[in-house]
Structure 1
Amino acid sequence: MEIDKLKLYRGNPYIVNEHIQIHMPTLGEIVDYGEQDFYSMCFTIVEQPTNMKWQLWDVGVDWTEINQWDFFTDILAPSLTKEKTKILFGDIVDFSLMKKVYKKEIDSYVLVQDVAVFDEDSQDVGSAYYDDKSKKGLFRKKGKPNRNKNQPYEYQIIVDEYTYKMICKIIRDTYGFEEKHDRPANEVTKLAQIEDEKEEYMMNKDKPYVSNLMNFISAMVNSEGFKRDDVTVFDMNIYAFMDSVRRVSKIKNAQLLLQSGYSGFGIDLKDIDKKEIEWAGEI
């Protein structure tokens, strides 16, 4: 599943399908939303059963026997109200209202949301942008051209497993969430992992939240070559900003390696992976 990273970098809403697009918020929008709540919401969307081993175990669910799609549809989606996700999906898409429906033609379950909107609430699917920051959901106009203006457009937003995986891919690529593939070798290991993670959670649950964005923003604003200051940095979309964080780190690392290699007293550049000194290479 490939994502067009250049489109993410540009910052325009990323169109997933005819009804769903993902807004790329600026740092300022994230601050206004609340950084901790924002990242918690994003992580909830992509969360895997392995991240909630003991919580699932305590309610009688074996985390190794539930896949991520069922985990999302059955457990996570009902908590993702439109108010929580509007900053990403606009003011129409509402996972908490979606019903799980079996589709015989694809032999799989999908999430379905019935929608009815009037002209003044709508936005054409042909536009890849949110009009005047309204962040409304996309939809395709249906019905006859001479339809009564007082009657709403009615349609369904459908999220299948592929669509959900694409959403997860975009969010992980943007915010740096890792996808885990760990599985216990046996029952003893499984129980040990559950106890370890529960103990770690209890030890850390009351610790105050530490802002990651604050550290990144401070570092970048004070980095040579970064073109934004402490005011204009908040106009950057989050994908472009996080790319800058990684790019500046790669550039500085390449410079240090090259300086050491050419000094005659440091490392031998023949022993270094060329990708590490290609400052404009893939991150």
Structure 2
Amino acid sequence: MATLNLLYKQEYAINEHIKIQIPTVGEVLDNEDDYYTMVTMLTAMPVDMMVQLDDIGVDFTAVNEYELFLILFNALKDKDTSLIFGELDLKPFRSAVNPQNNTIVLRDKETGVVIDRGIQGQIASVLRKIHNLKRNNRKPANQEAREYMLQRAREKMRRRSKRVNDSQLEELIVAMVNTEQFHYGFEGTRELSIYQFNESVRQVIKKIDYDNRMHGVYAGTVNAKELSQDDLNWLTHK
């Protein structure tokens, strides 16, 4: 995929039929739970859904990212996906076989629009870019490790289920508005795209880390010779 330049975009075109929306912070806030649930479904790797897959009798090590997408698609298309796919309606899509390579695709018979493994991969990549998400490629080395990972994941899910689910985005907004490096108020922040906001959060964190590092250098508690070029440059996202 070409370099994703999303800073001033409201959408990113995968092809002439499929476009990924880049909503504003306000739009996400107003639909936060559903929006992030859909983002998770569209970017998840099997290891991220190991418990859910195990509950339906599927070994998470035996399926790939695209197969997981096909499993989740029926639940996804029942949601209002307009904040992600705009006017594209997922409801008419059905599983079909691509006769050219005998693979499963999703196809809208009326419009001819197809979602195949390549398209799904691009959708996931764009959403990961928008939300600073990393592709989770962890795999257990053996059956014992697999069982251990499942056990730990179940424990984490149980702990999370007992917590009150406050808005994480709202907490981030409050934190950023009260940070000297961020120059938007509450209303101004609502108008930013979610990509602009996420990138700002990442950059502010990097700047604060850089400032703390430099204070350590000046105080003599941090050895400047041990710092990398990335440590000495807060302007990049790397």
Same fold (TM over 0.5): yes
Counterpart CA distance in 2 for 1:278 and 1:14 is: 29
Cα distance change on mapping 1:200 and 1:224 into 2, 3 Å: closer
| Superposition map of 1:1-283 within 5 A | 1-4=1-4, 6=5, 8-33=6-31, 35-73=32-70, 75-81=71-77, 83-94=79-90, 96-115=91-110, 155-261=111-217, 263=218, 265-283=220-238
Whether the 8 Å contact between 1:78 and 1:97 is mirrored in structure 2 is no
Counterpart CA distance in 1 for 2:159 and 2:24 is: 33
Whether the 8 Å contact between 2:10 and 2:193 is mirrored in structure 1 is no
The structural deviation recorded for 1:264 is 5.6
Cα distance change on mapping 1:229 and 1:192 into 2, 3 Å: same
Counterpart CA distance in 2 for 1:22 and 1:189 is: 37
Whether the 8 Å contact between 2:177 and 2:186 is mirrored in structure 1 is yes
Counterpart CA distance in 1 for 2:79 and 2:65 is: 23
The structural deviation recorded for 1:238 is 0.4
Q: Output the TM-score relative to the length of structure 1.
A: 0.77
Stretches of structure 1 lacking an aligned partner (at least 5 in a row): 116-154
Counterpart CA distance in 2 for 1:196 and 1:258 is: 38
Counterpart CA distance in 1 for 2:78 and 2:20 is: 13
Counterpart CA distance in 2 for 1:182 and 1:164 is: 20
Cα distance change on mapping 1:106 and 1:207 into 2, 3 Å: same
- Tell me whether 220-229 or 52-61 shows the greater mean CA deviation: 52-61
Could you report, residue by residue, the CA deviation over 1:175-224 in whole angstroms, capped at 9, with x for unpaired residues? 23332222222222222322332233233223221322122111211121
Counterpart CA distance in 2 for 1:191 and 1:264 is: 48
Counterpart CA distance in 2 for 1:93 and 1:190 is: 37
Cα distance change on mapping 1:193 and 1:229 into 2, 3 Å: same
Counterpart CA distance in 1 for 2:219 and 2:175 is: 31
Cα distance change on mapping 1:98 and 1:222 into 2, 3 Å: same
SS at match of 1:274: coil
SS at match of 1:231: helix
Counterpart CA distance in 1 for 2:100 and 2:114 is: 14
Residues paired across the two proteins, number: 238
What do you get for the CA RMSD once the two structures are aligned?
A: 1.9
Whether the 8 Å contact between 1:11 and 1:239 is mirrored in structure 2 is no
The structural deviation recorded for 1:83 is 4.3
The structural deviation recorded for 1:82 is 6.2
